Each structure stands twice: as structure tokens, then as C-alpha cells.
Structure 1
Amino acid sequence: MSDVLLAPANARAPRTVDDTGLPFLFLIELVSKVLHQRGQLRLAELASHLKLNVSVIDPLVVFLRAEKLCEIARVGNSGTDADLSYILTDAGRARAANAAARNAYAGPAPVTLASYTAQVKEQSVAAMQVTRGAMAAAFGGIVVNPLVLDQLGAAMNSGRAIFLHGLAGSGKTYLAERLRDLLVGTIAVPYALMVDGEVIPFFDAVQHVAADEESSIGSGLDRGSAPDARWVRGVRRPAALAGGELTLDMLDLRFDAHTRLYQAPPHLKSNNGIFIIDDLGRQRCTPEALMNRWIVPMDRSVDYLTLHTGHSFQIPFDVIVVFSSNFVPQRLSDGAFLRRLGYKIEVPAASLGEYAALFRQACASAGVEFDGAAFDYLLARHEERQVPLLACYPRDLMRQLRDLARYEERTPELSPRTIDWAWDNYFAAGAAGRPLETERRDRGTVEYNNA
């Protein structure tokens, strides 16, 4: 039995076609598509492109030559087979074009679904441990309600879904994005997956950020006990964010009929990490439809995707899904879904002490000297207009003051006059601010004590 399935990303690089776990004829077509796309190549260049050893590539090229699908284009000076260059014949180009018409993928050799499933299990996000010290380090210098911080820390250890809710501007999205700093350790990610003869490109240079550079096999030499190069190792655990643009079809496997390539859904690329759905309830699909899509994956840790051929397959779902919403949970879904949410965490308005700390930070960032009397004046405006102390206000109001000072060609200052100007300019409802009753009505029937 090949060791590919035992410890996929750390297993020795395959030395034979059988070791790859991929069908011989599939690899023949893949080599043909690479030669069709790139033209004349040496064995070492093919090996580097496909992330396979020369010992795997050689019998494939021998077969192509025997079938008169490729030929030697140039002989180097070394006198060895490694210096031979290969190019497709007319028959080879026709066969490669036919293969590309079905699936145009011509990148590194894929790994099997079984290998990927085993690797995801081995590097599960649920195996992480987040401590209070780690939380303090990740959120150092950030003003956060201590209770919320403890809830988030415990929730990250569960590996289950998290629902952050609270008033708009309370800092939910900011907190959700900072959770990526708690993702410890690195993972291995395949360049591509093979499922039922179809290739799904997987590695995403934007979402899968390598902590260190992967070693190359460009020399074309067998590398002994070197690990399987079809995996990118040392990748930071992924953290993806989707907002109001998210639609149900984006969560399915998509096949572009023009390019003949698959696109893996964002939550699949987020395996062994976190996937943040921001502003839940504002998507073009209904919250109920979106949440129903997640019931099976969150409950069984597997998802089901469908190829364009109609073949459905099971894939591991090892993701901490973080929902962020201005709506209370009961407004968005029924009990069946809510039970599957491991943690439902309210992000409340800031306390007076937290708001003062946030305001001082905002002043320092905007280059405005803090003035206690002016801050007390601002608090009076909040109380008079019944506007909660939300985390976003200090920063946004200070930006207004900074913009005014630049316009008037003076140093920014904090005073009742400038606060009135910023307040009246910032709140869309005018000096009264946004009526709190409207905010409550938008969020649902459940009201919050801090609101």
C-alpha cells in the first residue's frame, strides 16, 4: 500500500505512477495538456511544473512517444535522458486539445480526495488550544469588553460555529477579523484535488498564505525522502470573509463552461481555518436559505458538492464559521439552526470607561489633543439623544474633526463647537442621531438592556 494515504502531506514524494494514487491515463492527459500549453519542455521542467519526480514522468513520456503523441525536439549536451526536450506531435496536440475541452486544468498534479480528507483530519482546527494569554496577545492594545473576550476565547477552542450579534457599529466585524490572529500552527494545502476523474484547483495564493517558501523540485532529480511536492506546506490557517455579496451559488462547486475550469467555494478553501460571514441578513438570499445551507456541514463536519457531470461527493468540513449580524439570532432562524451554533455572543455597546479609552485612542490617531471637558460634552450629547456608546463613534467623529481642520488650515482641536459640527455632520438623521427605536425595530423583537 502506498504511504500517500497514511500521512499525505508528509509522505515521501511518489516515485512511481502507482504511488501518486492517480490513474495512468489521467496523468498521460495531464502531461499532454502541459506540453500543449507550454510547448517544448525537458523532463526536469515537466517534473517542476507537475510537482512530480522524474521517475514518475519518465514512463508517461515513454508511453507518449510509443503512441507517437510526442517526440524528442532537442538533445542537450549532457548526453543523458534528463537533457532531452519533448514536444507534442500533431496527433498529440489533437489529443491534448480534446482533453482540455473536457477539463482545461494543466497545473500541478492533484491529490486524491482520500488523501485530502486524511490531511484535513490530521490538521483539524478543533485541535488548536486558545488560552487567555493568547487572547491577551492577539487583542493587546485593543479596547474590548473582558466578558466578550473570554467568550470568544472559549468559543475558538470548541471548533464550532460562532454567532456575533449586536448594534451596528459595536465592533463585531473588527473582532471577527481579529480572530485570525488566534489561528496557531500551519497546515498543508494541495494544489488541486481529483474527484471522479475531474480536477478541482484548490490552492489560492490570496487565501492560502505560505509562512515560508516551498522547496522546488526544478532540478528534475529524485529527491529521496523529500515530501510530496503536490502539497504546499507551511501555510497559515486560512481566514476568509464574505459579506453582503455572498449568494447561495457561491457556496457550491462552480464550473466555468468557457474556461473549462472548476472554482472551489470559499468555505472549502477555508478548511482548517475560519470563514466569516459578515452582515448576516443583508445578503441577496434570505437568512433562512443561507443558514439552511450550513445545517448539515456544521452538524456532521462534512459537506456535499456536485461536479458538473452530476456526480455528488462528500468532502470534509473543518471550519469555524463566524456569523456577524446586527440582528438578534431569533430574528434570523429557528431553533433547529440555533442549536447548531456553538456560541451566540452579544457584542454590547461600550461601557463609559471603554468609550473613554476608545476616544483617547481615536484622538491620538487623529492628532487631536484630548480635552476632558469636551469629552464630557460629547457624553452629554449621547445621553440627551439616547445614542448608545458604540465603538465606531470615536474614530469616525475624530476623522470628521481632522477633515474640518485640514479644510480650515488649522490644527485639529476638540471643543463643543467642533463636536457639534462633527455630530451633526455624521449622523444621517441630523442632530438627534438615529432614533434608538428604529435601531431596535430593524434588529428584531428582542431588545437589549444596553441599548
Structure 2
Amino acid sequence: MASSVPVPMPADLLAAPAAQRAPRTVEETGLPFFFLVELLVKVLFQRGQLHLPELASYVKLGLGVIDPVMVFMRQEKMCEVMRRGASGTDADIHYQLTDSGRQRALECLARNAYAGPCPVPLAAYNAQVAAQSVANMHVTRPQVQASFDGVVVNPAVLDQLGAAMNSGRAIFIYGAAGSGKTYLAERLQDLLQGAIALPYAIMVDGEVVPFYDPVLHLPAAQQPEAPAGIERAVQLDARWVRGVRRPAVLTGGELTLEMLDLRFDSVTRLYRAPPHLKANNGIFIIDDLGRQRCSPLELMNRWIVPMDRAIDYLSLHNGHTFQVPFDVVVVFSSNFLPERLSDAAFLRRLGYKIEVPALSAAHYETVFRQTCAAYGMEFDAAAFAFLLQRHARGATPLLACYPRDLLRQVRDLARYEGTAAQLNEQVLDWAWNNYFAGANQRQGADDMAVQERREPKSS
């Protein structure tokens, strides 16, 4: 992890599970003894011979917790001690499974194949989420301006987004495709302050749910200081990953109702946590609402209880239902108007409905200039004036995506011809016709029809 400037930990985090001392006994883990036996059996089965420090490091538990479990496994003839090396020290001692232990491991893996870092109890996870709740933060105008510095966006929209982040309610962002809705939604993550802690896995009713996802849970720019009053010699519970940036989880048209439940894969024999659970303490973005394989009404009805009560209910494959926190800023993004997607009951639960309109001509020029600089092209005022005429001629809105998409085609043509990319009316006209797929011909036909109506018919 890159070095960073530490920030003080809030008082509520000092008492949270992730800030507490590592467990020294089996009882202090909050997990059943025989669960730890099964976990270690599975780890040894998959990883082969290990000496005790390696095993302890892999499952994120101290030697004081591991040692009595290994003693029990040796007494039950599930593992045996092997000596490798000639130093005569404990470093030469390795553990490996016996035939009986391998049979036990196969039975355990058939039920749940998880064999990673030791999980934390569900109650500890719930307490940690509450201590680092996203609802405890406040966003100010200077923070919004700093986060969106250099981004071309309507100032009124920024004010709406900033206020919405303080509301604790769901946000509905809508506008034409290409207006920049998704980009703005993802940038909201930069407004979330502070690092959080996440468990590698959670234990629920004897089942293990893997949780930490290195793709979604990234290191924070600023790392928290060690909790006050705890000496550096005291090791914190290693079952938690600390210094994680508040997550921003994005789902789109691929989202189904089944994905929002806890799923058990019968092939891998592993659970898969739903995306909104992994988004806890951060932002959960549902992009392209209205284009999922389920109806928007079904999808939105799924969120009524979580958004009202800040809790959700999930079920294990054995039918056991349990409660988890729903501590997320929910952001819906859609090309459709809100009233087209849901009923009045759900719309009342959307705290903010924010439209992202087309750009003004001045903002459009700024985006165009920025894109020229990014692609190494010199801005040409005459060529840009020609582009504005094409927009006006077809009543095409000035959307934020067009400069990038059109200038990318100009760059592609220059690469094909082996020349430096230069702006002029000809290349922009060529890119426009490619991009809008026949809009030019349709506009030309419309112009001819208008001209025919204006000219008097000859007798």
C-alpha cells in the first residue's frame, strides 16, 4: 500500500471491532471451536505442508488461537507433525493432514469450500458498519467544488448533488444518453471522507460469506492513525482490512433481482455477496435504470424496505434469513423520466430527482478544447463553429459525450492516413456522418421537402 498522510480516527471507530486487539483465545474470536477445526483442515488440504506461523498468518489468527486447535487435530489423528530441516528448532516443524484428516477436509469442502482468512461474526460486522456509517458525514460546497475541479458541469446540478449527499436519501439522476450522468454519479465517491475497515469474510449461522473484494475495495489516499491508547506492540485483529476507501459499486443493465440476494454457487460451493452489501459505507449506483432484464417497478420495489429502514434481509441456501445493514447512498441513473419508471409510492422515497441537461455552447466549447488537448490536436475556431452549425441544423443537443466521440474518429482517420490529426470542416463532417449514421441524408431530405413547400409549383 502506498504511503500516505495519516488522519485521526473518530471516537466511535476507536471502540469498533476493527480497532480492537487481536483475539488471544478461541473464545475471543467469537467463533465455534469446531468451525476453526474445519477451517484449518480445509486450509491444510489446499495448501499442503505448513509450519505454524505460516498457517496462523494465512488465516489471520494468532498462535495462541491456532495452537490448541492443532493440538486437538493431532489428538484426533487429523494431522501430523513433520520435521523439515536440520536446525532442530520449531522452524523445522511442519503440519500436514493424515488420511483421516484429508477425508474430513473433503467432507467440509463439500459443504462450504471457503478456506481463506478467518471470518468475523455477523454481529461484529454490523457494529463496524454502524461505527463508520456514511450517514455521519457532511458535504459542503467547497468540498464539491474541489472534487469537481476541472469538470465541466452545470453549477446548479453540482449544488443539487452536494445537498443530496447530505440528505441520507436516494438520488435519481436522469437525462439524455451521453449527458454525463454515470460519470457524475461515480465522481460522488470523491465526496466520501475517511477510510473504513472491512472483514475478509463474515460468519452467519455457521456459514462463511466471503466479503473483501480487492477490485471494489481499494486503498484510501489517507490512512487512519493507530487507535489512541493502544501501544504499537499490541497487534490489532488481522481479520479486518483497514485503510479502505469508501466503495462505489456500479451495476448496469446486467443487474437482475437474483443478483441482489446472497447466492451460493453449487459448483464452487462458495457464497457470493450481493453488490449492495459490498457497497456498505459507500455509494451503490444502479446505472441505465429501465434497461435491466427485470421491470423497473420490480427492481425499485426491492429497495423500498432497505431505503426506509436502512436494513436488508438476506437468506442462506439452507433457508436461514438474517439482517444486514443497508448503509449506502443509493444513486439511480436513467435515460427515462422518473414518472415513467415507477409509481408514486416509490417516487416519494427518492429524495432528489436531478436532471443533467445538455451543455451550453460555452461549456460545450470547453469540453471540446479539453478533448483536443487530450488527443494532441490544435483547437480550430472555424471547425468548431462548423460543428455548432451541424448541431443546430439537426437540433442535436450539445451532450458531453460528443466531443470525445467525434474527435476520436478524427484521430483514427489521421492514424490510418499516417498524418498528424488536424481539425477542419471536412474531417468533422466525415466524423459526424459516421457517428450519426445517416442523419445527414435524413436532414438533407427534410431540407428539400421544406424548399419544395416554399417554391410555387409551375403551371
TM-score (norm 2): 0.87
Pick the aligned partner of 2:186 from 177, 199, 217.
Answer: 177
Larger mean Cα displacement after TM superposition, 254-263 or 188-197? 254-263
Partner of 1:249: 258
1:160 equivalent among 154, 158, 169: 169
Aligned to 2:198: 189
Contact residue 12 and residue 227 of structure 1 kept, 8 A: yes
Question: What is aligned with 2:214?
Answer: 205
Unaligned runs of 5+ in 1: 215-222, 435-451
Shift of 1:402: 2.3
2:221·2:245 contact (CA, 8 Å) conserved in 1?
no
1:343 offset after TM fit, Å?
1.4
Paired residues in the alignment total: 423
Query: For residue 331 of structure 2, what is the amino acid of its counterpart?
Result: V
CA distance in 1, matches of 2:376, 2:238: 51
1:343 corresponds to which letter in structure 2?
Answer: Y
Letter in 2 for 1:93: R
For residue 91 of structure 1, the aligned residue among 92, 96, 100 is 100
- Residue type matched to 1:259 in 2? T
Conservation of the 8 A alpha-carbon contact between 1:297 and 1:317: yes
Structure 1 residues 410 and 83 mapped into 2: Cα distance closer, same or farther (>3 Å)? Answer: closer
**Percent pairwise identity:** 69
Q: 1:415 to 1:433 in 2, by over 3 A?
A: farther
1:4-403 correspondence to structure 2 within 5 Å? 7-74=16-83, 84-211=93-220, 225-403=234-412
The SS at the match of 2:198 is: strand
Distance 1:253 1:76 in 2: 46
CA-CA distance at 1:49 after TM superposition: 1.0
- How far does residue 260 in structure 1 lie from its aligned partner after superposition? 1.0
Call closer, same or farther: CA 1:432–1:38 in 2, change over 3 Å.
Answer: same
Residues 1:432 and 1:289: Cα distance change in structure 2 (over 3 Å): farther
| Deviations 1:60-114 (CA, angstroms, capped at 9, x unpaired) | 1111122222222227666666753222222222112111111111111100000
Instruction: Note the C-alpha offset of 1:275.
Output: 1.5
Unaligned ranges ≥5, structure 2 = 1-12, 224-231, 444-459
CA positional deviation for 1:325: 0.6
1:300 CA drift (Å): 1.0
Q: Is the 8 A contact 1:9 1:188 kept in 2?
A: yes
69 and 383 in structure 1: CA distance in 2 versus 1, 3 angstrom threshold:
same
Q: Is 397-406 or 30-39 further displaced after alignment?
A: 397-406
Q: Does the CA contact (< 8 Å) of 1:33 and 1:106 recur in 2?
A: yes
Whole-Å Cα distance in 2 between the matches of residues 88 and 20 of structure 1?
Answer: 24
* 3-state secondary structure, aligned to 2:303: helix
Deviation at residue 224 of structure 1 after TM alignment:
5.6
Taking structure 1 as the reference length, the TM-score comes to 0.89
Instruction: Tell me the SS of whatever aligns to 1:235.
Output: strand
8 Å Cα contact 1:14-1:20 kept in structure 2: yes
Q: Which residue of 1 aligns with 2:6?
A: none
Partner of 1:445: none
Query: 1:11/1:379 Cα in 2 relative to 1: closer, same or farther (>3 Å)?
Result: same
